[in-house]
Amino acid sequence: MKSINEDIKKNEYKHAYLLYGSEDYLRNQYKKKLCKALMPEEDSMNISYFMGKDIREGEIIDLGETMPFFSERRVIVMEDTGLFKSAADKLPDYVKELPDYLYFVFVESEIDKRNRMYKAVNAVGRVSEFSKQDERTLLKWVAGILGREGRRITQQDVEYFLTKSGTDMGNISKETEKLVCYTIGRDVVTRADIDAVCTTQIENKVFEMIRMVTGKQQQKALELYYDLLALKEPPMRILYNIGRQFNQLLQIKELAGHGYDQNGIAGKMKLQGFIVRNLQNLARQYSTEELRQAVEDVTGMEEDVKMGRLSDVLSVELLIVRYSGTSKNRKL
């Protein structure tokens, strides 16, 4: 990101850029920023966009050989082409000899660094990775957005906000905008504001559901499950997320047993620190054996549903009832 900003600041550009990584929001923001710098918005004749895996290399090269119309540059943007994971034929060699007026911008979610296209762009151009941001960055980013709109918020409430919004920056941006609009006329954003307008992500609803189960609040856990069904969330996806959540609890339990602290666990599992802290609070309610059994039970339920021995809706209900039971002999 810094290298792209420097290129824009100096108005000195590479002829090929590859923007890739799992953080869609940042990737798209820098795509727009770079394209705007390379080509004025009013010039639509000299910038072309291609999307998807049906891209034809010969067509791209022919367009690249076409001189720009009353402009110093021609820009070709190619997105989600798969060229950086599959075998490209002509473009890798062409990238190494681009005309002075031609600029390629590639935007991909996944790449293979052994790929010929990657090696070609990396050799003559600029490669920038946009990965999921860490906890500190997200906290500062949310506080910064609100600050520019004249709002203040405590760190604890930013953390709470992120437990509802998730860590996807695109979704965070939308949820933050809702908070700004909701608090017009006030300068402090509170937890009550967050609860009033922010949508809890599915994964976080599952976390809340398991928290209710752990606290033996069976009715509330079932209500959360029925809310998810009302939102048209497939039961099998809910079951998958329950299994994923219990597997995370098991990993945290085992890592803590090996002496890892919160930061160490967060680094190992590639999770934000506040997420680990919340999961640790749940993990303490279970023994390692109980968590292992929970993961096995979810796997068994998935198999029963696939084999037609159990309905998908009932499978989750049974898990909730079983885990939130008060019997000391309950099986997890």
φ, ψ for residue 301 (rounded to 5)? -65, -45
- Residue 107, classed as helix, strand or coil, is strand
Q: For the chain, what are the domain ranges?
A: 2-129, 135-197, 202-323
Cα dist from 43 to 15, 38, 69, 73, whole Å: 19, 10, 10, 10
Over range 154-173, report the average pLDDT. 91
* CATH entry 3.40.50.300 includes domain 202-323: no
Model confidence at 218: pLDDT above 60: yes
14, 23, 58, 286: which is closest to 168 by C-alpha?
A: 23
Q: What is the pLDDT of residue 194?
A: 95
CA distance 161 to 163: 5
Q: What is the pLDDT of residue 326?
A: 56
Model confidence at 193: pLDDT above 50: yes
Read off the pLDDT of residues 91-141 as tens digits, 9 standing for 90 and up. Answer: 999 999 999 999 999 999 999 999 999 999 999 999 999 988 888 899 999
Ordered DSSP codes for 39-85: S-TT--SSEEEEESTT--HHHHHHHHTSPPSSSS-EEEEEES--TTT
Give me the percent of the chain exceeding a pLDDT of 70. 98
Q: Which residue has the tokens 């059994």?
A: 293
CA distance 63 to 175: 41
Give the torsion through C-alpha atoms of 158, 163, 168, 174, to 10 deg: -60
Q: What is the pLDDT of residue 272?
A: 81
Q: Which residue has the tokens 């309950």?
A: 330
Model confidence at 288: pLDDT above 70: yes
Q: What is the pLDDT of residue 57?
A: 92
Model confidence at 319: pLDDT above 50: yes
Model confidence at 202: pLDDT above 80: no
Is residue 50 packed enough to be buried (19+ CB in 10 Å), middle (13-18) or exposed (0-12)?
Answer: middle
Over range 226-250, report the average pLDDT. 89
In one-letter notation, the amino acid at residue 254 is: E
CA distance 265 to 277: 10
- Spatial CB neighbours of 151, under 8 Å, sequence gap ≥ 6: 179, 180, 183, 186, 187, 188, 189
Cβ atoms of 55 and 83 closer than 8 Å: yes
CA distance 162 to 219: 26
> 183 or 285, which is more confident?
183
Model confidence at 330: pLDDT above 80: no
Model confidence at 332: pLDDT above 50: no
Q: Tell me whether domains 2-129 and 202-323 share a fold.
A: no
Indicate the CATH number of 2-129 among 3.40.50.300, 3.40.190.80, 1.20.140.10, 3.30.465.10.
3.40.50.300
User: Domain 135-197 adopts which CATH fold?
Assistant: Helicase, Ruva Protein; domain 3 (1.10.8)
Read off the pLDDT of residues 219-232 as tens digits, 9 standing for 90 and up. Answer: 999 998 998 898 88
Is residue 259 packed enough to be buried (19+ CB in 10 Å), middle (13-18) or exposed (0-12)?
Answer: exposed
